[in-house]
A and B are shown apart, each in its own frame.
Chain A
Amino acid sequence: MNMNKKVSFTALFLIVSLIFTMTSGFVFPVSAQKKQVSLTAIVAEPKERWDLLFNTALQKLKQKHPELDIKLDYRVLPYDATRTQILTAMAGKTPIDLISADQIWLGEFAQGGFLTDLSDRAKTWGRQSDWYQTNWDGGKYNGKVYGIWAWTDIRSMWYWKDLLNKAGVNPESLQTWDGYLAGSKALNALKAQGIQPMHLVGASHSPDMWYPYLWMLGGEILKQKSGHPTKGTYWYPSFNSTRGVKALGFLKQQVDAGIKPQVSHFWGQEFADRKFAVMLEGSWLLGTFPRDQWPTINHKVGMLPAFPVPNKNTKSTTMMGGWILSIPQTSQNKDLAWELLTTMVDPSVLTPMLQKEGYLPTQKPIGEGPYAVKLNATIPYYKEMISMIPTAHSRPNIPEYPQIADSIKQAIDEVYYGMKDPKQALNDAAAKSAKALGW
């Protein structure tokens, strides 16, 4: 009898389940008719900016496509892991719909066939003219658009007003090489309090902090040259020009003046912790201060939108970084991924994130238009930082760039530690770079 009851219960359960499954399409008609689409993304830390961007952009995308049930799965990884994960995913042909790429990775990814050519889509989109030219060009490789430079950062000079005041150093005087070195000497007394006068980058990204000196003197990292063994015309090192030697000479002067290269880098935290009176650092430095201090930070912390120049007649410049949004070739939803991308960089979506995180725009409607008012009211020194963008430079995005940067870093270290003079160091680095470029 018990067995019969069990069999009956089981049969009844199965029948009910079957009926439910068959009729669920009628009970929840909208869900059943919606096509499920999952978008995946690999992006770099920090996570908060992506949460903000993706949430807003996804809502708008869903509104545009009520017929789709769109889900977004994104992985936020540390910087180095992002590049490795993207490369591993691409090599393994894992479907990924969107990635954030550092501008210097673009050439490597594009040449490896990892990225979708977005040229036609970008043309139809028609927003090219909204971008600052350097930032638009930064998303191109071999004349084709492979990514959209979403936001940027610049490097400028930050200083503690009270420390400079005490030492009798006029901040404006730091804008020339001689003034910078003199300021360093005047601030030497701070060492007794455990505060270093000036920060000098000795970490792996030291080339990034040297390039502005090269550029302000009219030099270039690479130039096009004909006669390449396999490529006809290709890039050739030009950083070892007399301008490059002069630029590296300034770093040597800083070391000779007692400024110690810092091997460890804490991305502005060391400045916020008052370990340094003056620091050339990226605009992300603001993020090391609590948000509630931003409205009054200019009372304590000064910012000069410039790298020191050899003389007052030289125009300063800076280096731009930031993140490019790209669509991998392995994406199975390229059109939808493109829509997501363009929605993310829409000023109405992007501006709140820039405002919250303190990043700088790559497009004129945000940098100069109505949205600029919001950012100007929130981000300290916003106007000054924006003023640097039109004259800022970016690094090459060719596949060989990591090797070239490594050679330049070695040259800088050799000068820092007195092993070679700037000319010899740069010539040796240029020889290695030329080899890496296939010459």
Chain B
Amino acid sequence: MSNIFAKAEPYLFLTPAFAILLIFLIFPLFWNIYISFHDVSFITILKNWEYSGWTNFVDLLNDPNFYTSLRTTVLFVAGSVALQFTIGMLMAVLLSQKVRAAGVLRAIFIIPWTISAVIAAFSFKFIFDYNFGILNYIFQQIGLQPVGWLSDPNIVIWSLVIANVWYGTPFTMLFITAGLLSINPSIYEAAVIDGATKFRSFLRITLPLLKPFIVINLILITMWSVNFFDLQLVMTGGGPLFASTTASLYMYRQAFEFGLLSKGAAAGLILIIINISVAFVYLKLLKR
């Protein structure tokens, strides 16, 4: 008996964590799948839910706005991840040098990440406003034409990328800083002795050793960018002409603005598949 208990003991210690996972992750996922195969809306939520099969997915795949939202998501995520990673990496590397007040600078650069996303979104909404925004005011002062940052369908997604980069870069900076701190400095000393330049050391030593951190960071910021919709919801509502409606905002609007909960659930499932696929690709890259 004590033998059985001894064997089961580690699993018993996992029970609380597993319970939390079950309640907050596994159950909602299966419930989401269930809803996506039934006709659930604000009108039917208190009534019997009819089984609808693949109807919600078919409706989704027949909705041209869904494809627009996927295209917009690709642009938003690609732009955000590329810039967040590049700028974050640059900031982390620069601040890891013997820079005066590096600690203070790091603390200042983290500030955007500590602000609520909704506050950041409202701030950028005012900054980018065509008539009242500080950016267009500066442009006009230096003789340039004002820009429709949030009103031009061709530009609006890049305005959102700028806001997302401002908001999310501190995380990359912190994450890469942690990675840089884990590298033994004596490796660089050995490289200097062997005649390696700083740039060569960065390419041949720093980047390879940072690879696990880089991949995990890319997975996280990609998934967060895919799921993020606060900025779009507050700054533009998804317009103009769906030009700033990402898949996550599309899902939110279907479920909570139009009351089509099962269609929103179907969109959510597709988003999960996208996220898992992205993570899979990154992990494959890590293994190489």
Please list the residues of chain B having a beta carbon within 8 angstroms of any beta carbon in chain A: 41-47, 125, 129-132, 148, 150-151, 153, 236-237, 239-242, 253, 256-259
Contact with B along A111-152 (1 / 0, CB 8 A): 111100000000000000000000000000000000000000
Inter-chain CA distance A402–B150, complex, in Å, is 23
Do the beta carbons of B43 and A111 come within 8 Å of each other?
yes
A417 touches B256 (CB 8 A): no
Contacts of A202 in B (CB 8 A): 151, 239-240
**Are A264 and B240 in contact, CB atoms less than 8 angstroms apart?**
no
CA distance A162 to B131 in the complex (A): 21
Given contacts A91-B45, A204-B237, 12 further A-B contacts (CB under 8 A): A90-B46, A91-B42, A108-B42, A202-B240, A262-B131, A262-B151, A264-B130, A264-B150, A270-B131, A399-B41, A399-B42, A402-B257
Known: A196-B131, A202-B151, A270-B131. A112 touches B237 (CB 8 A): no
Known: A112-B46, A113-B46, A264-B150. A402 touches B258 (CB 8 A): yes
- The answer, among A113, A262, A275, A402, for a CB contact under 8 Å with B259, is A402
Docked Cα-Cα span, A196 to B132, in Å, equals 12
A108 and B257 alpha carbons, distance in the complex (Å):
11
Distance (Å) between the CB of A349 and the closest chain B CB? 32
Q: Which residues of B contact A204 (CB under 8 A)?
A: 237, 239
Structural contact, B241 and A403, CB atoms closer than 8 A: no
Q: Is the CB of A416 within 8 A of B240?
A: yes
> With A204-B237, A403-B258 in contact, is A260–B130 under 8 Å at CB?
yes
Residue A342 interfacial (CB < 8 Å):
no
Q: Tell me the bound Cα distance from A199 to B239 in angstroms.
A: 18
By the criterion CB–CB under 8 Å, are A263 and B46 in contact? no
Tell me whether A275 and B131 are in contact (CB under 8 A): yes
The answer to whether A87 has its CB under 8 Å from any CB of chain B is yes
Say yes or no: is A226 at the interface (Cβ < 8 Å to chain B). no
Q: Which B residues are CB-close (under 8 A) to A406?
A: 253, 257-258
Docked CA distance A402–B129 (Å): 26
Closest 9 CB pairs between A and B? A263-B151, A413-B241, A112-B43, A111-B43, A91-B45, A204-B237, A403-B258, A113-B46, A413-B240
Closest-by-CB residue of A relative to B235 is A264
User: With A262-B131, A264-B129, A275-B131 in contact, is A113–B47 under 8 Å at CB?
Assistant: yes
Which chain A residues border B125 with CB–CB below 8 Å? Answer: 264
| Interface mask (A404-434 → B, CB under 8 Å = 1, otherwise 0) | 0010011001101101000000000000000
A84 within 8 A of B: yes
Contact of A275 among B42, B132, B241 (CB under 8 A): B132
State the Cβ distance, A273 to closest chain B Cβ, in Å. 8
Task: Find B45's partner among A112, A413, A414 (CB 8 Å cutoff).
Answer: A112
Chain A positions within 8 Å of B132 at CB level: 270, 275
Could you say which residues of chain A place their CB within 8 Å of the CB of B239?
202, 204, 263, 409, 413
Which of B42, B44, B239 gathers the greatest number of chain A CB atoms within 10 Å? Answer: B42
In whole angstroms, what is the CA distance A372 to B4 when docked? 84
Give CA–CA (A406, B55) in the complex, Å: 22
Complex CA–CA separation, A413 to B236 (angstroms): 13
Question: Given the complex of chains A and B, what is the CA–CA distance between A60 and B150 in angstroms?
Answer: 50
Complex CA–CA separation, A143 to B125 (angstroms): 43
Q: A114 CA to B46 CA in the complex, in Å? A: 8
* Count of chain A to chain B residue pairs whose CB atoms are closer than 8 Å in the complex: 72
B130 near A108: Cβ-Cβ < 8 Å: no
Which chain A positions have C-beta within 8 A of B242? 410
* Complex Cα gap A170–B239 (Å): 36
A261, CB-defined interface residue at 8 Å? yes
Distance A419 CA – B243 CA, assembled complex (angstroms)? 13
- List CB contacts (< 8 Å) of A186-224 with chain B: 194, 196, 202-204
Quote the shortest CB–CB distance from B264 to chain A (angstroms).
Answer: 13
| Contact status A410-B241, CB under 8 Å | yes
Tell me the complex Cα distance, A52–B150, Å.
Answer: 38
A residues near B151, Cβ cutoff 8 Å: 202, 260-263
| Complex CA distance for A341 and B45, rounded to whole angstroms | 27
| CB-based contact B42/A112 at 8 Å | yes
Q: List 13 A-B contacts (CB under 8 A).
A: A108-B43, A108-B259, A112-B42, A113-B47, A114-B46, A204-B239, A260-B130, A260-B151, A264-B130, A275-B131, A275-B132, A402-B258, A410-B242
Residues of A within 8 A of B253 (CB): 406
Give the docked Cα–Cα distance between A113 and B241 (Å): 34
Interface flags for A256-269 (1: CB within 8 Å of B; 0: not) read 00001111100000
Chain A residue at smallest Cβ distance from B44: A112
Smallest CB–CB gap between A119 and chain B, Å? 20
Contacts of B129 in A (CB 8 A): 264
Contacts of B41 in A (CB 8 A): 399
Contacts A263-B236, A264-B150; A414 near B46 (Cβ below 8 A): no
Bound together, the chains give a CA A194 to CA B47 distance in angstroms of: 55
How far apart are A434's CB and chain B's nearest CB, in angstroms? 14
Of the candidates A264, A399, A410, the one having the most CB atoms from chain B within 10 angstroms of its own CB is: A264
**Complex contacts, B236 vs chain A, CB 8 Å:** 263
Return B92 CB to nearest CB of chain A, in Å.
35
A298 to chain B, nearest CB (A): 26
**Which B-chain residue is minimally distant from A266 (CB atoms)?**
B132
Give Cα A403 to B237, complex, Å: 14
| Assembly CA distance A37 to B130 (angstroms) | 52
* A87 to B43 alpha-carbon distance, docked (Å): 10
Taken together as a complex, chains A and B put the C-alpha atoms of A418 and B33 apart, in Å, by 40
Query: In the complex, which residues of chain A have a beta carbon less than 8 angstroms from the beta carbon of B237?
Result: 203-204
B241 touches A417 (CB 8 A): yes
A-chain residues with CB within 8 Å of residue B44 when the two chains form the complex: 112
Q: Which residues of A contact B259 (CB under 8 A)?
A: 87, 108, 399, 402
Which chain A residue lies CB-closest to B47?
A113
Residues of A within 8 A of B45 (CB): 91, 112
Q: Chain B's nearest CB lies how many Å from the CB of A169?
A: 21
A window 244-266: CB within 8 A of B: 260-264
Contact of A262 with B42 at beta-carbon distance under 8 Å, contacts A84-B256, A414-B241 already known: no
Q: How far is the CA of A112 from the CA of B256 in the complex (A)?
A: 14
Cβ of B150: which chain A residues have Cβ within 8 Å of it? 263-264
Q: How far, in whole Å, are A264 and B150 apart by their CA atoms in the complex?
A: 8
A408 to chain B, nearest CB (A): 13
Task: Give min CB distance, A198 to chain B, whole Å.
Answer: 13
Question: Which chain A residues in 90-116 approach chain B with CB under 8 Å?
Answer: 90-91, 108, 111-114
